Amino acid sequence: MHIRQITLVTLMATSSACAQPTGATALTPPMGWNPWNAFHTEVSESKILAVAEKLKQSGLADAGYVYVNMDDGWWLRRRADGGIDVRTSMFPSADLGNGKTSMRPWVDRLHAMGLMAGIYTDIGRNSCSQAWEAKSPNLPVGSQTEREIGTYGYQQQDMRLLLGDWNFDYVKIDACGLADYGSDKRFVGDGSYRAFEPIMIRNHPERGDSKEVEALYARLKRALVEARPLGDYVLSICTWGEAYVNDWGGHYGNLWRTSADIRASWSSMLQNFDSAASRPLYAGPGHWNDPDMLEIGLGDFDASHPVEARAHMSLWAIISAPLILGADLSTAPQSVFDIVGNREVIAINQDPARNQGVTIARDGDTQVIAKTLAQPGRKAVALVNRGKSPRTVSVSLARLNLASATVRDVWTGKESTVDKGVISVDLAPHETALLTVQGKPRRGEVAYLGEMPARVQVLADGSDALPAALRKAWVPVQADAAPSGEVLVLDGRRIENGIGALANSRIAVRLDGAFRRFRATAGAMDTPALGEKPATTTWRVYGDGKLLFERTVAVTTSIDVPVAGVKTLELAALSTTGAAGVVAWGQAELAR
């Protein structure tokens, strides 16, 4: 089932099985550690155990870093019966004698420590290390078929093994097997690996078969549900932002990579951050945008770069990114633990309202991101200097929809009151100030949809009508911005609060009976990249499947409907010509 074809009835029927797990897993972003950035495949049981013990001793486990994940390199071969032998030189505890191996002893050991265990595999026949780490001593061995250790053709069997027999809690599913084993590759031509003509073309999703990629992950998700019916696991989809995964990943995974692999450089970190920061309406309880692991302790974010390290942590925290550490914690200095273990920063990431932060201002190298927290009148705000020169970054309380406030810097602990209704911070190059702001809501019991992205789910995004280049660059449904990232404009007037979307899109809003009215000013936007805006748009509002509002107009229209008792609101903007276009639910708000 493709996410853009889901109806409201289907959503309500399948959300527990697909949109998020049936158990209470990943209701906030997962936290833990992965060895790839520190060791690649040069890893061992002793190295991972040393990090696991450090998580416990340092207090990071108590702070929430509980997933200890394995990455590529753990497998030895696939047997004739379809089972997988473990590389016992890497995991001695896997040797059960008589030629039998199992990761269950390792998983049991982590569980006895109060930690959770993660494992890695690929959606194709072969893994990433086999294509990209040719000199690794830890590649699968044996015949061509014995070295096919990916899940392709073995999804049910592998999921029963990894999450059933071995009892792992977290599984990361990479996708190099779908992209890197074409017949033109040297290692395919020499017979090392069997050809798999790519259905994922890196950087060219329009040339691949994204629907088949999605279908493979959908089938794997069903295999996971069969292996662990209670849903007490985390599924990490790793297609690096390819195959339009950002539009469908949340239907199957608890997290999905929005970008290429992160590197320990400032520019790479920002690129990965941007890939997730623009998609707050696609994230929420049980499904999270994943810009990749934290590089704190490595490269541009090591102990000699504390400003950059704190900025990296701040940005991942405010956009509700999974906090998966990547440095070798067994040798890391205390300054790394001080940054990744900051409880106030972690609390922002793990806030029970589960909202991803929304960019509310961007001017060159400066950026302001606001995240609505669970406590009434409380927000987290990141003021960001992305550039190489000092900058002063400001945001008004009015833009935060607050009337008065006090501010706390969560890195320094400094508290202050807001002077003249404006928060203003002087920032060094690459510095981010992460603040909590406690104030009085400017409009009392009214909240904008852009302030509550965790309540929103995209049902249909209209992106199929976009030209390929725009579909790759735009975000079909945005909070407080148009799909292009530009400001919302209706009737020549800038709109600060609202939802920007494509024509023929539908979004659901979880109300839980907590609101009385829904109000918005809706209209189509002039979008030169798409030509003229649609002649008319049909606007529909449903409450629990019942039509509450419908109007077809060529101009903007005001919407004001009662929603008392409604559990799920659906908003649809339909182009009467079926053409691509940009629409805005301006000032979309809910009143309690």
The predicted pLDDT at position 212 comes to: 98
d(CA 119, CA 240): 18
Instruction: Name the band, by pLDDT with cuts 50, 70 and 90, for residue 508.
Output: very high
For the entire predicted model, the pTM comes to 0.94
The predicted pLDDT at position 579 comes to: 72
Flag whether pLDDT at 125 surpasses 70.
yes
| Model pLDDT for residues 29-69, shown as the tens digit of each residue | 999 999 999 999 999 999 999 999 999 999 999 999 999 99
Q: What is the 3-state secondary structure (H, E, C) of 465-519?
A: HCCHHHHHHCCCCEECCCCCCCCEEECCEEECCEEEEECCEEEEEECCCCCCEEE
The predicted pLDDT at position 532 comes to: 63
| Model pLDDT for residues 296-346, shown as the tens digit of each residue | 999 999 999 999 999 999 999 999 999 999 999 999 999 999 999 999 999
Q: What is the 3-state secondary structure (H, E, C) of 196-231?
A: ECCCCCCCCHHHCCHHHHHHHHHHHHHHHHHHCCCC
**Domains located in the chain, CATH noted:** 31-349 (3.20.20.70), 358-444 (2.60.40.1180), 448-591 (2.60.120.1060)
| Model pLDDT for residues 140-186, shown as the tens digit of each residue | 999 999 999 999 999 999 999 999 999 999 999 999 999 999 999 99
Instruction: Name the band, by pLDDT with cuts 50, 70 and 90, for residue 534.
Output: low
Burial of 330 (0-12, 13-18, 19+ CB in 10 A): middle
Question: Distance between alpha carbon 288 and the CA centroid of its chain, in Å?
Answer: 3
The predicted pLDDT at position 533 comes to: 66
d(CA 437, CA 36): 36
Flag whether pLDDT at 10 surpasses 80.
no
